[in-house]
Amino acid sequence: MDAKDQPQAKVTRSIVFVTGEAAPYAKSGGLGDVCGSLPIALAARGHRVMVVMPRYLNGSSDKNYAKALYTAKHIKIPCFGGSHEVTFFHEYRDNVDWVFVDHPSYHRPGSLYGDNFGAFGDNQFRYTLLCYAACEAPLILELGGYIYGQNCMFVVNDWHASLVPVLLAAKYRPYGVYRDSRSTLVIHNLAHQGVEPASTYPDLGLPPEWYGALEWVFPEWARRHALDKGEAVNFLKGAVVTADRIVTVSQGYSWEVTTAEGGQGLNELLSSRKSVLNGIVNGIDINDWNPTTDKCLPHHYSVDDLSGKAKCKAELQKELGLPVREDVPLIGFIGRLDYQKGIDLIKMAIPELMREDVQFVSSYSFS
């Protein structure tokens, strides 16, 4: 659907997405897909949309930011025992302001959140910087001759952006700033919550009286030893407490996060906020994922002509060294080797499944 064919919103708003990733700049999964396409769809409806994310420079994705220009704007963020300077880069694309927060902690080899040795030990610091910068960007960046200002809707995605609603409540509204703004927490994956030791709370630069918003206590069975009190700070919990609304990526997930099995320890808190908790089904970018035009496909196809799909299947069989057969089902799995993705179900089904005349292909990652 072209932008001109999009239905226009009755009331247009200034919307600020805050995220750890957005395609095509940086992506590790579905979060990157959503934050790379939903802002464009909202802009097509007439909203003014900004996306704020880190400017990752890891040696392999540097070219993704080639069109982002230095804004000459910089701020100093008081946290982690010092004053840390970040700068802003900007690209205007598809009617969206893409704003990239630049700091040396985003310039290192590896993936977005870690490397072969595991998650980066300073991720709490890296995404604290992102959240502070995202709160300042609408106030100081003049983009296209326009400053977003204080009347914004912040859309904060997963734990990386979850400090934003806390900052709005604790450090801005008491001084009359962002008084009319609102925030929506979008939970893509509740399993990752940004949990660190309670001793790190002073590093966040928040007033002492706001500790309770992020306070988290692990149950006894989850503690490491008898002297461990289980005290921690939890970024995502802070957003659950302070955000004006909470959205999950499907209606089913909005129910699941309120259950003991799927709530990852936050089920009771999320249940207490049911009045502002909704599920909205994730969509897809119908331009990027259109098999009639997809540049990554060797052959195109549509609902009216599936012949190209059979040719794609044959190309895949050939590339992977499988017998090129039209009559055999080719089953594929693409995802992380993670319990959440149902890998346990595949493991159980594979022995019986492979007794049949089928081909199975798996493309996976560990992070």
pLDDT tens, 128-137? 999 999 999 9
- pLDDT for residue 6 is more than 80: no
Cβ–Cβ < 8 Å for 15, 48: yes
Mean pLDDT of the chain: 93
Cβ–Cβ < 8 Å for 269, 276: no
List C-alpha distances in Å: 188 to 45, 98, 261, 352.
23, 21, 17, 33
- pLDDT for residue 220 is more than 80: no
Tokens of 82: 């010092």
Query: Class for domain 3-279, per CATH?
Result: alpha beta
pLDDT tier at 62, thresholds 50, 70, 90: confident
- pLDDT for residue 112 is more than 60: yes
pLDDT tier at 218, thresholds 50, 70, 90: confident
Arithmetic mean of pLDDT, 143-151: 94
- pLDDT for residue 303 is more than 60: yes
Q: How do beta strands 330-336 and 359-365 pair? A: parallel
* CA 215/CA 197 separation, integer angstroms: 10
DSSP strands (E only) in 1-81 = 14-18, 48-54, 69-79
Residues of the chain with CATH 3.40.50.2000: 3-279
- pLDDT for residue 2 is more than 70: no
- pLDDT for residue 107 is more than 60: yes
List C-alpha distances in Å: 55 to 25, 52, 117, 125, 229.
8, 9, 22, 15, 37
pLDDT score of 186: 98
Arithmetic mean of pLDDT, 300-323: 95
Arithmetic mean of pLDDT, 340-358: 87
Q: How many CA atoms lie within 13 A of 214 on its CB side?
A: 32
* CA 271/CA 30 separation, integer angstroms: 25
Nearest to 132 by CA among 174, 176, 170, 182: 170
DSSP strands (E only) in 126-178 = 152-157
pLDDT tier at 4, thresholds 50, 70, 90: low
For the entire predicted model, the pTM comes to 0.89
Q: How do beta strands 195-197 and 231-234 pair? A: antiparallel
Cis peptide before 54 (omega within 30 of 0): no
Tokens of 214: 């992020």
Residue 119, strand partner residues? 114
pLDDT tens, 8-42? 888 899 999 999 999 999 998 889 999 999 999 99
Residue 222 CB burial class (10 angstroms; 0-12, 13-18, ≥19):
exposed
Nearest to 138 by CA among 183, 108, 174: 183
pLDDT score of 5: 66
List C-alpha distances in Å: 7 to 3, 44, 47, 209, 280.
9, 8, 12, 45, 18
pLDDT score of 267: 95
**Phi/psi of residue 155, nearest 5 degrees:** -110, 105
How many distinct helices (H) and strands (E) make up the chain?
Answer: 9, 16
Query: What percentage of the chain reaches a pLDDT higher than 90?
Result: 80
- pLDDT for residue 44 is more than 80: yes
pLDDT tens, 255-275? 999 999 999 999 999 999 999
Arithmetic mean of pLDDT, 182-193: 96
Q: DSSP class of residue 116?
A: T
Q: How many CA atoms lie within 13 A of 220 on its CB side?
A: 2
- pLDDT for residue 69 is more than 70: yes
